[in-house]
């Protein structure tokens, strides 16, 4: 063990180091800033029957800069009572009938990774009911967390209707824009019931398509090459018995103060039934 005198001499020597040397030492020992967890709010139509594995993209404001993997816990908070809420809970969806309860799941971001995916299994029914919310909280992480929850709203689509073909259900999503890096955001497109035969649908990037006259502008406001990667036409396939197909859209971040931007995707060329034929993927500015 060093004596008190030795420790005092070492401290004194440190104080006599040239300022240039001290400045050089600083950056070498500076820890990288921990990125912020970005959580999308999503409204998805319920569906009439069957299960649908819906993907929630949990992003970071920048790729994980640390030399080790970092984790974050996603906790199903739907049935947790609100303090002083008179018996109400944080969510209104019912585990077992509206979705499959999942308790706590740990998501992992490896060094350089920017997105992790949380899978939530939704259940369809034909009961006429109000919209329902699955509430997910995020904690137990060394990452920076601002808004610590996701509201996954299950929109009711039951009016006693029936269609001969499975109906395509397209969720609108709002994702905070990252500060740096690009990652493949998975958009879950769903059917209201399992596909009776293998079916396809074309997803078309409509963001830069001009609006019809006399309107001015384009269908979307995001800029290909800086806000996201343009993708033209992609064909999604629903296998027989499936309810979900995933569309990857690569979104990119920056720190420029700007308004929210929209990626517009249209769906056509399909034998499925289509009501609303587009998805608005909103990149909300957080700079």
List, in sequence order, every beta strand (DSSP E) within the chain.
36-38, 41-45, 51-60, 70-76, 104-109, 115-123, 132-139, 144-145, 149-155, 167-169, 172-176, 182-191, 199-205, 233-238, 244-252, 261-268, 273-274, 278-284
| Ordered domains of the chain (ranges, CATH) | 33-284 (2.60.40.2030)
If you search the block for the tokens 């929630």, which residue do you land on? 56
Contact residues for 102 (Cβ-Cβ < 8 A; gap 6+): 74, 76, 120, 121
Helix (H) or strand (E) holding 27: helix 19-29
Average pLDDT of span 199-216: 94
Alpha carbon 111 to its chain's center: 19
Which two structure tokens, joined as six digits, stand for 220? 């979307």
pLDDT of the residue at 4: 35
Q: Whole-model pTM?
A: 0.79
pLDDT of the residue at 262: 94
Lowest-confidence range among 27-31, 137-141, 242-246?
27-31
Tell me the β-bridge partners of 266: 204, 278
**Residue length, the chain?**
287
| Tens-place pLDDT, residues 251-265 | 998 787 778 899 999
Which two structure tokens, joined as six digits, stand for 243? 């309810």
pLDDT of the residue at 5: 31
Task: Kindly indicate the confidence band of residue 69, based on its pLDDT and cuts at 50, 70 and 90.
Answer: very high
Task: Kindly indicate the confidence band of residue 158, based on its pLDDT and cuts at 50, 70 and 90.
Answer: low
Which three-class secondary structure state does DSSP give residue 38?
Answer: strand
Over its C-alpha atoms, the chain yields an Rg (Å, rounded) of 24
């Amino acid at each position: 063990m060093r004596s008190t005198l030795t420790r005092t001499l070492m401290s004194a020597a440190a104080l006599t180091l040239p300022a240039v040397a001290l400045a050089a030492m600083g950056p070498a020992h500076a820890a990288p800033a921990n990125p912020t967890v970005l959580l999308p709010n999503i409204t998805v139509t319920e569906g009439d029957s069957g299960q649908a594995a819906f993907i929630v993209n949990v992003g970071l404001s920048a790729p994980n800069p640390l030399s080790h993997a970092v984790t974050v816990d996603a906790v199903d908070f739907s049935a947790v009572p609100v303090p002083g809420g008179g018996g109400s809970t944080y969510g209104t969806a019912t585990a077992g009938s509206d979705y499959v309860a999942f308790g706590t799941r740990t998501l992992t971001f490896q060094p350089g990774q920017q997105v992790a995916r949380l899978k939530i299994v939704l259940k369809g029914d034909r009961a006429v009911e109000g919209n329902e919310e699955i509430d997910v909280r995020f904690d137990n992480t060394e990452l920076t967390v601002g808004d610590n929850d996701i509201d996954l709203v299950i929109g009711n689509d039951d009016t006693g209707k029936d269609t001969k073909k499975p109906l395509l259900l397209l969720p609108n999503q709002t994702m905070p824009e990252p500060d740096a890096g690009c990652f493949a955001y998975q958009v879950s497109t769903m059917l209201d019931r399992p596909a009776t035969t293998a079916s396809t649908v074309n997803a078309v990037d409509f963001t830069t398509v001009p609006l019809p006259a006399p309107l001015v502008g384009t269908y979307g406001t995001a800029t290909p090459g800086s806000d996201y990667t343009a993708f033209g036409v992609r064909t999604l396939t629903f296998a027989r018995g499936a309810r979900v197909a995933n569309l990857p859209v690569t979104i990119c971040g920056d720190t420029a103060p700007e308004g929210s931007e929209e990626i517009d995707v249209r769906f056509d060329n399909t034998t499925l039934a289509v009501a609303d034929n587009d998805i608005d993927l909103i990149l909300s500015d957080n700079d």
